[in-house]
Structure 1
């Protein structure tokens, strides 16, 4: 894991856990994908509990496709993440992100990264 501070706007690798199996060379690209997703799709974030982050997303169909693709790929290399994408109605899209207790620091950093990217808008 990088010791860079995500709030500095550096690479943001601080939230990438040691347990991640994504090849190191591919991590900056994945981080950029998440940054773009946080910037373009996330409308609000709520910390439901220490182990649960809820992201309210733009409800466009392309956002849903992007979220499904990105979370599927992330789950394949960081299997401790649980992602649940749901619609309570046609105009509402929610992404719930959960982690086990041992990975709360990763969720903290992910939530901080999402907030930092959204603040830069």
Structure 2
């Protein structure tokens, strides 16, 4: 029996180079990050998602570390972390046209996990 909460359609994508055994752990890390840090999201275009984050220093560090590791196995992602105020950050996530489905899945996961908290 598979747990669809651990592997949403299209994320991680088949092109991900993270070993399959490690993918559920990475998803759990993203889920924790989404629960702890994400305050909202805007879909700026089909290719771009903006996550509004809590601005704490631990959130900034966690975002930098997690996005660096994700970029190393899914190089099509572009992540931009910006401090937008003393208590807020934004994380822009961009993908090329071929990976819009992956961004759709990531956005859906971020908001579904966030809502559960």
Structure 2 length-normalised TM:
0.93
Q: Are the equivalent residues in 2 in contact too, given 1:35–1:114 (CA < 8 A)?
A: yes
Q: Are the equivalent residues in 1 in contact too, given 2:54–2:89 (CA < 8 A)?
A: yes
Give the 5 Å matches for 1:28-39: 28-39=24-35
Q: Which residue of 1 aligns with 2:18?
A: 22
Q: Which residue of 1 aligns with 2:63?
A: 67
Q: Which residue of 1 aligns with 2:73?
A: 77
**Which residue of the other structure, out of 101, 113, 117, is the alignment partner of 1:117?**
113
State the shift of 1:99 in Å: 0.1
Q: Are the equivalent residues in 2 in contact too, given 1:22–1:77 (CA < 8 A)?
A: yes
CA distance in 2, matches of 1:105, 1:58: 26
State the shift of 1:115 in Å: 1.0
* Matched residue count: 115
Point out 4+ residue stretches in structure 1 off by more than 3 angstroms. none
Q: CA RMSD in A?
A: 1.4
Change (3 A) 1:119 1:88: closer
Q: Are the equivalent residues in 2 in contact too, given 1:13–1:31 (CA < 8 A)?
A: no
- Stretches of structure 2 that go unaligned for 5 or more consecutive residues are none
Structure 1 length-normalised TM:
0.90
- Stretches of structure 1 that go unaligned for 5 or more consecutive residues are none
